[in-house]
Amino acid sequence: MEKIIDENTQGNTLTLEARPDNSRKLYIESYGCAMNFSDSEIVASILADQGYNTTNVLEEADLVLVNTCSIRDKAEQTVRKRLEKYNAVKRINPKMKVGVLGCMAERLKEKFLEEEKIVDLVVGPDAYKDIPNLLKEVEEGRDAVNVILSKEETYGDISPVRLGGNGITAYVSITRGCDNMCTFCVVPFTRGRERSRDPQSILNEINDLAEKGYKEITLLGQNVDSYLWYGGGLKKDFKNASEMQQATATDFAQLLNMAATAHPKMRIRFSTSNPQDMHEEVLHIVAKHDNICNHIHLPVQSGSTRILKEMNRQHTREEYMKLIDRIWEIIPDCSISQDMIIGFPTETEDDHQETLSLMEYVKYSFGYMYKYSERPGTMAARKFEDDIPEETKSRRLTEIVDLQQKHSALRTASFLGKTVTVLIEKESKKNKEEWSGRTEHNNVAVFPKSTYKAGDFVKVKITDCTTATLIGKAVGYSENN
Ligand code: SAH
Ligand code: F3S
């Protein structure tokens, strides 16, 4: 599939089924990572109880919310541009209120209100339950800000409304925040400490999705491998705290096992894995269950051990390569994808060559590649000057993207002549007569519709391909149905 070289600058507006009693209109737009899209579903759910139905017509909104991303400067600039657009609409409809959610809200806090006069409401990622109170403040003519980060909030008790989706695939968030402190990354500052959600509430959400006919879920976290939940037992049942922890802790491998066992027909994906925290047990669970997709998104960021150290990634190039070997020993056909940062401060030509040679070693199925963007307040920003010239960054990025294209083409072509299982998600954009779906390895596949329908698992014989898309013909239903 065609993979993104830079952030999601499209933005997605989200709408859900209208509740007849609701009279106010919410326009909610999301930028950045899957977690933001998932959070917007939580926010829409909270606001549905406050009388808001969603709309995708900006001009008719009473409340406009933008869920923002701070990961790179460009992501922030995109949001600023959207605020200009909202401003133009607000001139026509002065009663319209505008709120900023997510990572930019958390990073800039009250400053947002000074910098962007149009903003009435600033809400950080852990404060969404406070939105009803904040809206009251706004209605009474006050600006409202809540950017308090929490050590507990997981929104496990809120049943997200599924917005703008296809009714077939859904995200289920399992952890929030991140404790890893990669030196380039703003997430630990904007999303706070890592916390895991009660497995029971995760399983309930998956049950609910299964009942509604969903066919695929993606378990979401900044670092899914460090999922860990203590609890579930009563203190009096155990001799001491450590016995209780051992008896009741649930780690990611166990969670995955529970979800896959409870729903053998549900396709399960997970993202994102972090090399330093990935346990071998997880690989065995993936290998054991047919319904867990054989695809691991395993960001590496750089192929140079020296740069990895400066990034505070807790592994060397060699350790990462060993992990890759182990993945293929346990899950031989596993597809692996990457995130890469080009031009981290002090990156030399040799470091860059090491990244290219690591890519040659793995031959990733696809990847997301970015130029380093200095984020205020991060360790890298404090320690280093952003010293790689823009033209060098651009050149190195092109080299890395070109190599990835080559590997993607190779990986995609390896399916030629094979029959793969595809979950139909939607009509192909290019051809109304064709379905588009994904294989377990996360390749997009297109094929003539015939009598199949969206949500079906179909066996598709692959006859042709582009760099990123498989092209084929359905040869029957898969036993997954
Ligand atoms: N663990 C997270 C990573 C979030 S950030 C996850 O769930 O995906 C996504 C990617 O953005 C990172 O893997 C990294 O490649 C990139 N990124 C993060 N900070 C960056 C920065 N300052 N400049 C450029 N790219 C960055
Ligand atoms: Fe960021 Fe590293 Fe966590 S990239 S989200 S600090 S794993």
Answer for the pair 447, 463: CB distance below 8 angstroms, yes or no.
no
Cβ atoms < 10 Å from Cβ of 270: 26
- Name the residue of 107, 182, 307 to mutate for ligand 2: max ligand atoms within 8 A of Cβ: 182
Give the chain's domains with CATH numbers.
12-146 (3.40.50.12160), 169-411 (3.80.30.20), 419-477 (2.40.50.140)
| pLDDT at residue 241 is higher than 90 | no
Q: Which atom of ligand 2 is nearest to the CA of 188?
A: 6
Span from the CA of 184 to the centroid of ligand 1 (angstroms): 8
Instruction: State the distance from the centre of ligand 1 to the C-alpha of 33, rounded, in angstroms.
Output: 10
Distance from residue 178's CA to the centre of ligand 2 (Å): 6
Q: Is the pLDDT of residue 440 over 80?
A: yes
What is the CB < 6 Å shell around ligand 1?
71-72, 184-185, 187, 222-223, 272, 299, 301, 339, 341, 370, 372-373, 375
Tens digit of each residue's pLDDT (9 = 90 or more) over 315-344: 999 999 999 999 999 999 999 999 999 999
Calpha distance 84→96 (Å, rounded): 14
Q: What is the pLDDT of residue 480?
A: 78
Q: How far apart are CA 95 and CA 156, in angstroms?
A: 33
**Predicted confidence (pLDDT) per residue in 290-319, tens digit:** 999 999 999 999 999 999 999 999 999 999
The three-class DSSP label of residue 328 is helix
Taking the CA atoms of residue 123, residue 127, residue 131 and residue 132 in that order, the dihedral angle to the nearest 10 degrees is -160
CA of residue 56 to ligand 2 center, whole Å: 32
Distance 71 CA to ligand 1 centre (A): 6
Q: Which of 9, 35, 36, 339 to mutate to test the pocket of ligand 1 (most atoms within 8 A of CB)?
A: 339
Residue 6 clears pLDDT 70, i.e. is over it: no
Task: Report the residue among 223, 300, 373 best suited for mutation to probe ligand 2: largest number of ligand atoms under 8 A from its CB.
Answer: 223
